[in-house]
Amino acid sequence: MAAPSTAPATARLDAIQPRACSCGQTRRAFVDVEPGTASVHLLDVEAATSHYHRKATEFYVVLEGEGQVELDGVAHPAGPLSAFPIPPGTRHRAIGELRALVVASPPATSPTTRTVFDA
């Protein structure tokens, strides 16, 4: 029986199959890696819907493009290397043609990160 690997997990975000999310298309890594404290996403913004997470904190770091990140109804300019902390309960969405790196804690697919959309 082989010993469990202690090597750190790695990911090529561009090799992960994209999936639809409330902000557009996302490629999520580390959603099931122990201890499961955070996940990393490559987000391509497309027709984002305003929403919030009950327990997750997210950090958006814009990699490419120009637009805005809306936090609780206030639009903030967004461009390459701008960063936005998004605590739980903050209604948010990205606007424009943006590509962002998103870090979510707890991981985005965790049941405790539940997304709630505006009515």
Identify the H or E element spanning 52.
strand 51-53
pLDDT string in tens for the chain (119-residue length): 555 455 567 888 889 999 998 888 999 888 876 666 889 999 999 989 999 999 899 999 999 999 999 999 999 999 999 999 999 999 999 999 999 999 999 887 644 444 554 43
Burial of 16 (0-12, 13-18, 19+ CB in 10 A): middle
What pLDDT score does 18 carry?
A: 92
3.40.50.620, 2.60.120.10, 3.40.50.300, 3.30.70.1090: CATH of 21-117: 2.60.120.10
Identify the H or E element spanning 95.
strand 92-105
Length of the chain: 119
CB-hemisphere CA count at 13 Å for 72? Answer: 7
Alpha carbon 106 to chain centroid, angstroms? 11
What pLDDT score does 112 carry?
A: 45
CB 56 within 8 A of CB 112: yes
Distances (CA, A) of 112 to 9, 88, 104: 22, 11, 11
